[in-house]
Amino acid sequence: MTRDKLKKKIDIYKEGVTIRKKEVEQAKQAIAKDKEELSKLKNNEKSLKGLVKNLKGNSSFSSKVNFSSISTFCLTYCHC
């Protein structure tokens, strides 16, 4: 009787270890995906900052453009 209970506890422990290993692997994959997405967003941010800087440098154009609306547009519609 005691031996069966011990075997059952060991089996439950092993099952828990397997589940935790899967969860850890999934978390690692999610972190890698998030890092990749963050890298893409940072590159897009650099590009957009460069564009805004160029647009601001063009004084005849900058008086006609609302830059906050451009950045809002980019954040809303650029699903990079």
The C-alpha atoms of residue 70 and residue 25 are separated, in whole angstroms, by 40
In the numeric block, which tokens belong to residue 71? 């950045």
Q: If pLDDT is split at 50, 70 and 90, which confidence band does 51 have?
A: confident
Backbone angles phi, psi at 65, to 5 degrees: -110, 135
Per-residue pLDDT at 75: 63
Q: Residue 17 above 90 pLDDT?
A: yes
Helix (H, G, I), strand (E, B) or coil at 58: coil
Contacts of 62 (CB under 8 A, 6+ apart): 55, 56
Tokens 């963050």 locate to 38
Q: Across all residues in the chain, what is the average pLDDT? A: 83
